[in-house]
């Protein structure tokens, strides 16, 4: 049977941007856009996950990502279960693979997992029969965030990513969002720049297909999109920046620094934001320059699109 969107999407899991072909990505973005156009409508017609179970398994804290998957799953008719890791056997010393075996015996169709170790979801995916969706693994990848960011950009700037110049700024070293976004935006043909202090740019960044800048003035020059990242203090051992105040002075986005970008440039941030550290409130809250709430809205729609594609692939509808 042909898929409802006319493309043979055959992926069982969503683990990494690198697993997808360009047509896979275009299909996912088109599905995300479809759900965004419906403005996340709740009619029974779209309950294509009815009878399926989605389990949210978050070993690291999350507000928006977990809720976003929960809402997306429910809007498509799935039974959604949030596993409280803090109260589960994991806290009693159960290993990831034992947790996987237990969950697998309950037959979830979709397993949305966030874990502090890079590669944890890829390991889980080998042990369970349902689809595993990576909602962030350590400093490695956050593919659904990159997809929702691309959807947000496409919504604002149109489908031609080719002419866009983007700067991803701040704590790149500890950011799975940056790693997924660089791969996806490169695949879509954008010019991608990384901007940050040398201590927060990974030493292998010159092999990522990006240009690296250490000051905002040069890095933001002519950019259409400025994507700010949180200082991930919880992943830092030791001090990577002298002080938050000094960091804001050199790398925090305010009006003066945004003025280096192209007129009409838009600002993004995956959240949660550290206001006054990497971004000024006056920028984050200005709807004329900030796409931050649009990112949250695109998040639900994009995740509906991803669940839709994975569900049809599971059912052999390709």
Spatial distance between the Cα atoms of 182 and 175, rounded to a whole number of angstroms:
11
Binding of ligand ASP by 176 (CB under 6 A): yes
Tell me the CA distances in angstroms from 92 to 88, 95, 97, 166, 204, one per residue in order. Answer: 7, 9, 14, 44, 38
d(CA 150, CA 156): 10
Can you say whether the dihedral through the CA atoms of 142, 148, 151, 155 is positive or negative?
negative
Least distance from C-beta 104 to ligand ASP, angstroms?
25
Find the shortest distance in angstroms from Cβ 122 to ligand ASP.
17
Least gap, CB of 120 to ligand ASP (angstroms) = 14
Q: Which residue is nearest to ligand ASP (CB)?
A: 230
**Total residues in contact with ligand ASP, by rule CB under 6 A:** 8
Q: Taking CB under 6 A as the rule, does residue 136 contact ligand ASP?
A: yes
The dihedral region occupied by 268, where left means phi > 0, alpha psi between -120 and 50, and beta the remainder, is: beta
Establish if 303 lies at the interface with ligand ASP (CB under 6 A): no
140 binds ligand ASP (CB under 6 A): no
Comparison of 13 and 230: residue with beta carbon closer to ligand ASP: 230
The answer to whether the Cα torsion of 41, 46, 49, 51 is positive or negative is: positive
Give 307's DSSP letter. H
Q: Is 299 in the site for ligand ASP (CB under 6 A)?
A: no
- The contacts of residue 231 (CB under 8 Å, 6+ apart) are 170, 171, 240, 241, 244, 247, 274, 277, 278
Strands (DSSP E) contained in 172-224 are 191-195, 211-213
Min CB(282)–ligand ASP separation in Å: 21
Whole-number Å distance between alpha carbons of 157 and 3: 28
Quick one: 230 or 257, whose CB is closer to ligand ASP?
230
Omega cis (within 30) before 115: no
- Indicate whether 230 belongs to the interface with ligand ASP (CB under 6 A): yes
DSSP letter for each residue of 258-306: HTTS-TT-EEE--S---BTTTB-HHHHT-TTTB-HHHHHHHHHHHHHHH
Closest separation in Å from C-beta 10 to ligand ASP = 28
The least CB distance from residue 231 to ligand ASP, in Å, is: 9
Residue 3 or 202 with smaller CB distance to ligand ASP? 202
Rounded-to-integer distance, Cα 172 and Cα 230, Å: 9
Of residues 13 and 176, the one with the C-beta less far from ligand ASP: 176
**Between 73 and 299, whose beta carbon lies closer to ligand ASP?**
299
Considering only residues 6 to 25 of the shown chain, the ones binding ligand ASP according to CB under 6 A are none
Asked whether position 115 contacts ligand ASP by CB under 6 A, the answer is: no
CB of 58 to ligand ASP, least distance (A): 10
Q: Which of 13, 75, 140, 142 binds ligand ASP (CB under 6 A)?
A: 142
- Of 43, 63, 51, nearest to 114 (Cα)? 63
Site string for ligand ASP, 258-297 (x = CB under 6 A): ------------xx--------------------------
Residues that bind ligand ASP (CB under 6 A): 136, 142, 176-177, 230, 232, 270-271
């Amino acid at each position: 049977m042909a898929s409802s969107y006319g493309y043979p999407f055959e992926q069982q899991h969503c683990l990494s941007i690198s697993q997808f072909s360009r047509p896979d990505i275009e299909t996912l973005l088109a599905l995300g856009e479809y759900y965004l156009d419906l403005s996340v409508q709740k009619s029974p017609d779209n309950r294509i996950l009815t009878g399926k179970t989605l389990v949210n398994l978050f070993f690291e804290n999350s507000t928006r990502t977990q809720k976003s998957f929960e809402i997306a799953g429910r809007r498509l008719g799935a039974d959604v279960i949030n596993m409280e890791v803090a109260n589960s056997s994991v806290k009693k010393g159960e290993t990831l693979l034992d947790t996987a075996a237990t969950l697998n015996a309950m037959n979830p169709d979709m397993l949305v997992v966030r874990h502090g170790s890079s590669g944890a979801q890829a390991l889980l995916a080998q042990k369970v029969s349902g689809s595993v969706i990576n909602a962030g693994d350590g400093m490695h990848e956050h593919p659904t965030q990159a997809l929702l960011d691309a959807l947000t950009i496409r919504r604002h700037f149109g489908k031609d990513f080719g002419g866009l110049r983007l700067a991803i700024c701040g704590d790149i070293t500890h950011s799975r969002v940056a790693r997924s976004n660089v791969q996806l935006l490169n695949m879509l043909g954008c010019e991608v720049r990384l901007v940050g202090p040398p201590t927060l740019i990974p030493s292998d960044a010159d092999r990522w297909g990006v240009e690296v800048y250490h000051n905002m003035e040069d890095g933001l020059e002519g950019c259409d999109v400025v994507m700010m990242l949180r200082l991930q203090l919880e992943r830092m051992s030791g001090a990577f920046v002298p002080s938050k105040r000094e960091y804001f002075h050199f790398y925090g986005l305010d009006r003066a620094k945004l003025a280096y970008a192209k007129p009409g440039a838009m600002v993004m941030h995956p959240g949660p934001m550290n206001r006054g550290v990497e971004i000024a409130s006056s920028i984050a809250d200005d709807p004329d320059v900030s796409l931050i709430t649009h990112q949250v809205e695109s998040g639900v729609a994009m995740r509906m699109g991803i669940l839709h594609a994975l569900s049809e692939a599971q059912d052999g509808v390709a």
